[in-house]
Structure 1
Amino acid sequence: MFYKLSNTASKERIEKEFNAKFKYPNLYESNPLINGFKEESIYIITDEMPHQIVPGIWGLLPKDFEDDWIIFQNVNNTLNFDEDMLQNDDTLNNQFCSKRCLIIITGFFTSYIKNGTIYPYYVYTKLNNPISVAGLYNKLNDGFKTCTILVSEANNFIRNIHNINVKMPLIIPKEARENWLKNESNMDIESFAKASNEIDLHAHPIAKEFFKNDIVFESMLDPVRYKDLP
């Protein structure tokens, strides 16, 4: 699945792109590598406040959960949810109907296996614009928000550079963001998945140091050439 994201956009660029303001503007920092295996925050826009950008802890927790984040994630990793699960899981289905959000990133990472070696790819839009990924969120009793990203079937472009599985983050196009945040129980998620597959994405291989935990360096998103890779 997808456990690492990137958000290199400036505060001003995000606010302009989403026509929304940060609730805590002084706390925002761009981050080339958001590691889901740690308790990290990502920035979201919720259906409750569609013109406000707030932090959310990546990894959905039950509303009344009071123990450590890492304990729950070790038992039930909730960084990603497959959109197909919404049809079969009543808890998730209720979440989908009432607590949807947009998760703000500028890119995500895929992995390509060739001759027994894994190569990382960085995926982004042509102009490296902020991307909105479909998400679900929950508000804990202490007021903190936790969230998860939805994944759907990968398009041909992603399958060409991601041969570990056939999924990709469900990207919400700019023209569909308002509809995603509408509180409608009869929403057809398949239409969002189809629109996600039609988005024009770009990608390039990056240094294999990406796989080393706790290593973040200035050039980590720069392209690296490997022989005979897509």
Structure 2
Amino acid sequence: MCYDVKSSLRSQLKRAKHYGDTKKIAEIEKELAPLTDLPIHHRQGHSHPKLLIYTNESPEVPVVSQWGLVPFWVKDNTQRKSISKSTLNARGETIFEKASFRDSAKKKRCLIYVDGFYEHHHFKPENESKAKTYPFYIHRKDGEPIIFAGLWSEWLDKETGELINTFSIVTTEGNDLLTKIHNNPKLKGPRMPVILPDELADKWLNPNEEELDKQVLEDLIKPYPEEELTAYTVGRLRGKDYAGNVEEISNEVVYEELVF
């Protein structure tokens, strides 16, 4: 799963800077960035933050999108608020089958650039009666932005006439690192977001018109190489000790009782 992320404007603009010119980047920073919740040092998906995403319809210039995909067929705001809680992530194995995701899987895919993401590890310290959770921050060893494979959708709010852009992060089975970290006993198995190598990101945005195209997409839904990621423990991301969306939230914190 992926419910907690860190994302800076620098990371979010990496793709735009690769394709665009200085003037275009300045316009994005002036017009789009203020509409987002950036910088995100830590935000939980259930707070539905707004980020920049690159869609198959706008692969070079990002658009503002809210985390928690709302399918076009949602009837009203009551249903919208309900469904967006369960569409923060989309299991890659079933995106072409589930009603909430299959239209987007076929027609509306996107890329989300982040600095890194957070996951919780369950561990029972010696002399404790029950297990505790310990948050880890995961990022690329080379310091470059992580590229998530995503799905997006547009939903028309009939009450206001506003066209709302939303997205979901596609997940897959965890690699060895995430298997070790993401050990929640309540889950069927460890998960991780689908992270795309830089050189394969464009394939996720390519048209899906034939069965062969679908196979190309499914081949991208796999664990990211463990050796290219690194992780360390950080301060609490939940409860009374949570510091909030502050820069130091991703600083390393050592828990003496944790054996990892």
- Coarse TM-score class (shorter-chain normalised): 0.7 to 0.9
Q: CA deviation at 1:183?
A: 1.1
Q: Does 1:168 align with 2:197?
A: no
Take 1:55 and 1:119, find their aligned partners in 2: how far apart are those partners? 32
Listed as ranges, the matches of 1:54-203 within 5 Å are: 54-63=63-72, 65=74, 66-67=76-77, 71-73=81-83, 77-89=86-98, 92-115=101-124, 116-141=131-156, 142-164=162-184, 165-185=189-209, 186-188=213-215, 189-194=217-222, 196-197=224-225, 200-203=228-231
State which drifts further: 53-62 or 186-195: 186-195
Deviation string, structure 1 residues 146-194 (Cα, Å, up to 9, x no partner): 1100100100011122211410000111101111100124322342133
CA distance in 2, matches of 1:105, 1:218: 15
Gaps of 5+ in 1: none
81-90 or 162-171: bigger deviation = 81-90
Deviation at 1:113, TM superposition (A): 0.9
Task: Note if contact 1:59-1:146 (Cα within 8 Å) is conserved in structure 2.
Answer: yes
Query: 1: CA distance between counterparts of 2:12 and 2:45?
Result: 25
Unmatched segments (≥5 aa) in structure 2: 125-130, 157-161
Counterpart among 190, 193, 211 of residue 238 in structure 2: 211
Kept in 2: contact 1:103–1:133 (CA 8 A)? yes
Instruction: Report the AA paired with residue 253 of structure 2.
Output: V
Q: Distance in 2 between matches of 1:103 and 1:152?
A: 16
User: Residues 17 and 119 of structure 1: is their aligned pair in 2 closer, same or farther, counting only changes over 3 Å?
Assistant: farther
State the match for 2:127 in structure 1: none
- Normalised to the residue count of structure 1, the TM-score between the two structures is 0.87
State the structure with more CA Rg.
Answer: 2
1:205 Cα offset (Å): 0.2
**Cα distance in structure 2, aligned partners of 1:151 and 1:214:** 27
CA separation of 1:34/1:178 partners in 2, compared to 1, >3 Å: closer, same or farther? same
Identity %: 24
Matched residue type, 1:205: T
| CA distance, structure 2, for counterparts of residue 18 and residue 195 of structure 1 | 26
Structure-to-structure mapping, 1:32-47, within 5 angstroms: 32-47=41-56
Cα pair distance change 1:161/1:192, threshold 3 Å: same
- Structure-1 separation of matches of 2:218 and 2:72: 27
